[in-house]
Amino acid sequence: MRSRYNVAQQAVYLPVGLVGDSLPANSTMPVYHASRTAVRLYLGLLPLVYERWDSNENTEALEVLSGSSASRLAHLLDCLEADWSAMPMELRLSTDDGQIPPAEARYAILAQSAALALAYAAFKELLSVERVWKVDFRLLPLADVTSEQLFFLFYALDNCERSDKPYRVHRFKAWRILPPEYRVNIPLRHLPQFAQAFRCNASSSGGNSWHGRAWPMVAPVESRCEAVHWNVPPSPNSRTRRAGLHADIPPEFLGGVVELPSTTAASSGGARLRDHATAPTISNRVR
C-alpha cells in the first residue's frame, strides 16, 4: 500500500487504506502512525525531487537543481550505494543471475531514507504531549520504551511481511520496492535519532566492514549517509537542545526548515518529564 506520484498530472495518489479513522483524533496514538502514513506519503512525493535527472528524459518538470545541490545529491547517492555494497553477501538481495547491482538500488534507498527522516520530523512536530506538556509519552505495558523508541518500533512493525525471495526480487525489479529488511535496516543505520534513542554506537575503526558476526546496526559517524542534516547545538540549559532540520536534497523542494526539539530525555523518575526551551515551529520560507 504505497502512494504514487504521477508526473504528467503532477499529483500524488494515496490508497484509501493508508488513511484510517479507527483511532480518536484527540489522542496521542494517531501521532505514531506517522511512521506508517507519513513515510508512505513522502515516498510518493520524493520522486518529484529527482525525476528530472533520474531515468525519465521525457519529463517536463520545471525544477532544476543548482550545481551545488546536484553535487550534494550525487555525493549522497554514492554514499548510499557504498553502504549497500558494504553489506555482507548473506544479506544482499540476489537473483538467479547474480547479485543486484547497488547502483540499481540507490534511488530507492534515498527515497526510503529521506521519507523516514521527514516522517520522524512530522512525528516530533505532532507529539503535543511532549511539546506542550513536556511529558515523554509511554505505553503502560512498555513503560521502559521511550516515545522515540516507540516511533521506530512502529516503523519496523509496519514493514513486517511474509514473502519469499522470488517475489521480493520481482517487486524490486518491477517497481523498485525494497525488501522489508532493507527498508528498515539501511535507513535506520544513517538516522542519528535512532542511534540516540537506542543508545547504539558503531566503532569508528573499520567503518562498515563485515567481520563475520554482525553488520553494525548504526553506521559510523564518518560514513553516515544523512538524507537530512540534523544540527543540534547545545543550549545554555544542559537538559535542553534545539534541532534544526536541513535537507541534503535541495530545501527549495521541501518547503522550508523544520525546527525540532531534541530526542534527549531528562533522566528523572515518574513520568520522565522533558524540558524543552523552545516549542517546535515550521517555517515555510521557499528559497
Minimal CA–CA distance to 43: which of 114, 93, 149? 114
Asked if the model's pLDDT at residue 244 lies above 90, the reply is no
CATH classification for the domain delimited by 4-226, as one of 3.40.390.10, 3.40.50.2000, 3.30.420.40, 3.30.43.10: 3.40.390.10
Minimal CA–CA distance to 266: which of 232, 239, 227? 239
Q: Are 190 and 228 in contact (CB under 8 A)?
A: no
Binning pLDDT at 50, 70 and 90, where does residue 204 land? very low
* C-alpha 267, offset from chain centre: 26
Rounded average pLDDT over 175-183: 88
| Res 279: pLDDT | 33
- What angle is formed at CA 139 by the lines to CA 134 and CA 143, rounded to 5 degrees? 85
Radius of gyration of the CA atoms of the chain, in A: 19
| Res 164: pLDDT | 86
> How many C-beta atoms surround the C-beta of residue 214 within 10 A?
8
Instruction: Output the average pLDDT for the chain.
Output: 69
Percentage of the chain exceeding pLDDT 90: 15
Percentage of the chain exceeding pLDDT 70: 61
Residue showing cell 520522524: 120
Look at 13-27, 64-78, 87-101, 156-170 and tell me which has the smallest mean pLDDT: 87-101
Residue scoring higher pLDDT (146 or 220) = 146
Rounded average pLDDT over 180-186: 90
Phi/psi region, residue 75 (left: phi>0; alpha: psi -120 to 50; beta: rest), is: alpha
Q: Are 137 and 129 in contact (CB under 8 A)?
A: yes
* CA–CA dist 30, 126 (Å, integer): 9
pLDDT in tens, 62-110: 456 677 877 888 899 999 999 888 877 766 666 555 567 788 888 889 9
* CA–CA dist 193, 152 (Å, integer): 10
* CA–CA dist 147, 240 (Å, integer): 17
H helical segments located in the chain: 37-45, 47-50, 67-85, 106-126, 128-131, 147-158, 165-175, 180-189, 192-198
Residue scoring higher pLDDT (172 or 10) = 172
Grid coordinates of 128: 503535543
Q: DSSP label at 9? A: T
Look at 57-66, 126-135, 159-168 and tell me which has the smallest mean pLDDT: 57-66
pLDDT in tens, 253-286: 333 333 333 333 322 232 333 333 333 333 333 3
Asked if the model's pLDDT at residue 2 lies above 90, the reply is no
Rounded average pLDDT over 7-25: 73
